[in-house]
Amino acid sequence: MPIWPPTNSNFCCSRIPNNNPPPDLVQTVANSEKKLPLLFRIVEETVKKTIPHSVIFEVTRRCNLDCVMCYVVGHDSAHPDELSLQEIKGILAQLAEAGALRLNLSGGEPFSRPDFLEIVEHARSLAFNIDITTNGTLIGPATVRRLKELAVWRVSVSLLGATAKTHDSITQRPGSFSRALNALKLLNEQGIKARIKTLVMKQNFGEYREIMALSRELDIPYSFDPTVSSRNDGSLDTLEMNLTDDQFKELVRDPTLGPGTLSLDSKELEGSRQERLAGHMCKAGVSFCDISWNGNVLPCMQYPEIAGNLRKDSFETIWRDAPLFVKLRNARKRDAPECKECELLPLCFRCPATAAIEKGDAFSAYESACRTARLMDEVRRSRVSGADTQRDDSQEGPS
């Protein structure tokens, strides 16, 4: 099977539609004067040409943990409508034909499917670049060896604390911390790119620096997300687990945080106000989408509206013609009437899905985004005034 760009150690196997790059795309990328890595330049062009360069595929909703903040409702068992292995293989073929490059396989807990490694194997046979999101508790030596054989690009493991006491209290499953930690070590030993993913919230805020220290000890990068989402049935009880104002500001101003964490140094904050207003509200439905365990296609995991179902229509039809996707592709940040004149716009990370859940309108302002922008602004102002000082070594450690 022709693969383009060529396989390398950092980006396993990627394709453009029909596994060969369209001549006009090759020429456009070749003529680009931007000093960006080839992959990023390709992604830019796929966005312009409405090619879904990335797809999140929730292969199951079942999970062996019961995390207190989980947005998935009813995840304790498989649903009778869950896609079969053959259906998933057919969908993967459609995604390859549509030109998808990256595939994030998640759940629920994807390894709770007995046939999950068969799914991964088939996806790799279609030259997808595979990223797996897992809680790590079902990963053992044999599984890791198979993942290495299949040249999986990355495995992201959720770590919700630096201690078993904290992590296990959040997952509500004793022993889950030690198993997640063991999975990270096994992945590292086999040379598989691993990542620690942590949802930072009230319950584990006091250990975020210890997680950073653990990351350094294991030589595995981490990613912090300080935003707890509502549940997918519309329940908002989980929002109470979000960081307090003081905790959020302390996290954002921490000079020791690595890249990939919400901060004033984020690349997403670059550009003029007009450039931001002209940009898409979100890339969901524009350059990526989500496929749920029952074949529903959504802009993202959280979006409360379905674009279509793959048991009824082809992926190509849904991706190109679904009214929801067309609306999102045409929408710009300036189309949010309450937001376009806001002075905090440059610091705003508003999410159309969260707006739709909290306010019933993807174009509306909503409290959690306004709060985040306000707190970011307070940190920015303190930094400009010089009141924001870095911690010394004696301040390192749990809060």
Whether the predicted pLDDT of 396 surpasses 60? no
Residue 15 has φ and ψ, to the nearest 5°, of -135, 165
β-strand pairing of 102-106 with 54-58:
parallel
With tokens 């716009």, the residue in question is 345
Q: What is the pLDDT of residue 257?
A: 84
Whether the predicted pLDDT of 97 surpasses 80? yes
pTM listed for this prediction: 0.85
Please, which residues have CB within 8 angstroms of residue 52's CB and are 6 or more apart in sequence? 46, 95, 98, 99, 100, 287, 288, 289, 319
Whether the predicted pLDDT of 245 surpasses 70? yes
The more confidently predicted of residues 351 and 220 is 220
Torsion of CA 328, 198, 88, 299, to 10 degrees: -10
Q: What percent of the chain has pLDDT over 70?
A: 81
What Å distances lie between residue 225 and 123, 133, 158, 204, CA to CA?
A: 28, 14, 11, 12
User: Average pLDDT in the 41-56 region?
Assistant: 83
The more confidently predicted of residues 123 and 272 is 123
| Residues 175, 215 contacting (CB under 8 angstroms) | no
In this structure, the chain runs to a length of 399
Residue 159 has φ and ψ, to the nearest 5°, of -130, 115
Whether the predicted pLDDT of 139 surpasses 50? yes
d(CA 129, CA 153) in angstroms, rounded, equals 6
Whether the predicted pLDDT of 210 surpasses 50? yes
Question: pLDDT per residue over 150-208, tens digit each?
Answer: 999 999 999 999 999 999 999 999 999 999 999 999 999 999 999 999 999 999 999 99
Q: What percent of the chain has pLDDT over 90?
A: 54
Q: What is the pLDDT of residue 224?
A: 94
| Residues 155, 117 contacting (CB under 8 angstroms) | no
The more confidently predicted of residues 395 and 285 is 285
d(CA 181, CA 192) in angstroms, rounded, equals 15
Q: Is 170 helix (H, G, I), strand (E, B) or coil?
A: helix
Token reading at 242: 């979000």
Closest among 186, 180, 193 to 220, alpha carbons compared: 193
| Residues 59, 88 contacting (CB under 8 angstroms) | yes
Q: What is the pLDDT of residue 49?
A: 82
Label residue 42 by pLDDT band (50, 70, 90): confident
Query: SS3 string of 240-290?
Result: HHCCCHHHHHHHHHCCCCCCCCCCCCCHHHCCCHHHHHHCECCCECCCEEE
d(CA 87, CA 380) in angstroms, rounded, equals 50
Label residue 232 by pLDDT band (50, 70, 90): confident
Whether the predicted pLDDT of 88 surpasses 60? yes
d(CA 274, CA 334) in angstroms, rounded, equals 9
Whether the predicted pLDDT of 256 surpasses 60? yes
Token reading at 390: 């870095």
Question: pLDDT per residue over 333-386, tens digit each?
Answer: 787 888 878 888 878 888 888 888 888 888 888 888 899 999 989 988 887 776
